[in-house]
Chain A
């Protein structure tokens, strides 16, 4: 047991550096996904609430398709299909191409989930408020931005928080297309990297990173929820 701890403390600096690099990639994917999926989700939610049949129907089919298939398959399809089926690899080579493909898959996947949360938030606002707005002579756009939007944000914070925390852990799926995020970095020490091979502990140690980051996020999102309390 003592021997094990000695070994770990020797390997620590090298492992730490590699895991930090991997986690930087994880965080990059996390932030890019949020930045893309939060607005895209709103647009999709408008589509699925559209009064024009075909748009509503198509959007809902799209959401069903994305939510009904595993993100892992979507990653494989986005990354490999252009080269396999169209005969042209659109992602380029190297880490950048893999990151772009992963980011697009994640944005589309999470936007589909977010859109349903937005839809719930918007449709959950009593119809009386819209009627009152119309009676007061407000335009539909004004009603959405001045009456509904902030109330919707307050309502959707808890379910969105849930998705955000899941997203932190889902980023690890990107290793299927060999994006070198933190799980990949931890696993590399099992095969051998930087003179360390057969080390199992770095993989389990990555769990600490996820735990700490999700702790920070939960705290921030909790504070946001409190700040929006003035609606009640």
Chain B
């Protein structure tokens, strides 16, 4: 009995993988053009993608994505996704690209067709403000327990340093861990840290100390998609005519912008 079930399952999987192989041959760009809408996978991540008072998605990434879709001649649709599932969303065709201040890690580069980097970022250490003096060097971090977003660049850099890290579901959760005292410190993006902690925020008691690495943001498309090259060409053009810089200035991120040529 078990053997029969197993054989049936294997047969089913073979059929499924065959159909999958044939479906991939169509051009991804043509697929997007045909349906007339570029579905952009995002999370709520100021200042890259966030909602204004009217519930419209704005931010540096959102505005550039809109301009790119207009260039392609398709509509744009922003869809909030669970960041853990970004590769699933892309390969499952529930979104067409991931455009949300995504760090170009080795894992991302291996799984997606990525654009050229367009923005600089760093992973910074978050600690309670009253303890910040003690943790200004990498060596001083050895005894701390860290929280970092699972699958994030922050988690990767902590693992590389051999530090003690607890993965959590979001960067915001990592901050909560530090605020609640359940972790001693967290590692998150510097752009996010600048917006979310310190004076005048909900995390006034937290501050950031040192940067552990520098890294770059890029846009991810489905593996093999021609759209990545199209976006590169678009970024060069938008950088040259100054529109990219204007958008960056709107969201106060122009210092981090990378020259496109």
A residues in contact (CB < 8 Å) with B: 7, 76, 79-89, 91, 93-95, 97, 175-178, 180, 187-188, 190-194, 196-200
CB distance from B253 to the nearest CB of A (A): 15
List of B residues within 8 angstroms of A82 by Cβ: 92
Q: Interface on B for A, CB 8 Å cutoff? A: 16-17, 19-20, 22-24, 37, 39, 43-46, 50-51, 53, 77, 79-82, 85, 88-89, 91-95, 170-173, 175-176, 179, 195-197, 201-203
User: How distant is the Cα of A200 from the Cα of B93 in the complex, in angstroms?
Assistant: 33
Using known A-B contacts A93-B39, A188-B44, determine if residue A85 contacts B82 with beta carbons closer than 8 Å. no
Nearest residue in B to A89 (C-beta to C-beta)? Answer: B93
Q: Which of A79, A82, A85, A86 has the most chain B CB atoms closer than 10 A to its own CB?
A: A85
CA distance A93 to B46 in the complex (A): 23
Please indicate the chain A residues that have their CB under 8 angstroms from the CB of B92 in the complex: 79-84, 89
Check A79 against B50 for contact (C-beta < 8 Å): no
Q: How far is the CB of A4 from chain B (nearest CB, A)?
A: 10
Q: B20, B79, B203: which contacts A198 (Cβ < 8 A)? A: B203
Q: Are A93 and B22 in contact (CB under 8 A)?
A: no
6 contacts between A and B (CB under 8 A): A80-B89, A85-B17, A89-B94, A176-B82, A177-B82, A190-B175
Could you tell me the distance between the alpha carbons of A97 and B24 in the complex, rounded to whole angstroms?
22
Known contacts A79-B92, A197-B46, A87 near B22 by CB under 8 Å: yes
The answer to whether A190 and B172 touch across the interface, beta carbons within 8 angstroms, is: yes
Which among A79, A190, A194 is the interface contact of B51 at CB below 8 angstroms?
A194
Helix, strand, loop or mixed for chain A's interface?
helix
Q: A87-B20, A190-B172 are in contact. Are A175 and B94 (CB under 8 A)?
A: no
Cα of A93 to Cα of B35 in the assembled complex, Å? 11
CB contacts (< 8 Å) of A95 on chain B: these are: 79
The chain A residue sitting closest to B5, CB to CB, is A61
Cβ-neighbour of A86 out of B23, B89, B95 (below 8 A): B23
Judge whether B23 and A76 touch: CB under 8 Å. no
4 additional A-B pairs beyond A178-B80, A193-B51, A197-B195, beta carbons within 8 Å, are A83-B94, A188-B44, A192-B46, A192-B196
Decide if B50 touches A84 in the complex (CB within 8 Å). Answer: no
Out of A80, A86, A175, A187, which one reaches B16, CB within 8 Å? A86
Distance A187 CA – B172 CA, assembled complex (angstroms) = 9
Residues of chain A within 8 A of B89, CB atoms compared? 80
- Taking a contact as CB atoms under 8 Å apart, the answer to whether B201 and A84 are in contact is no
Known interface pairs A190-B173, A199-B202; A86-B19 also in contact (CB < 8 Å): yes
Shortest CB–CB separation between residue B252 and chain A, in angstroms? Answer: 15
Could you say which residues of chain A place their CB within 8 Å of the CB of B17?
85
Q: Check A193–B50 contact: CB distance below 8 A.
A: yes
> CA–CA, A214 to B37, complex, Å?
41
Which residues of chain B have C-beta atoms less than 8 A from A191's C-beta? 43-45, 170-172
Question: A187: shortest Cβ distance to chain B, in Å?
Answer: 8
Q: Are A93 and B77 in contact (CB under 8 A)?
A: yes
Q: Which residue of A lies closest to B176 (CB)?
A: A200
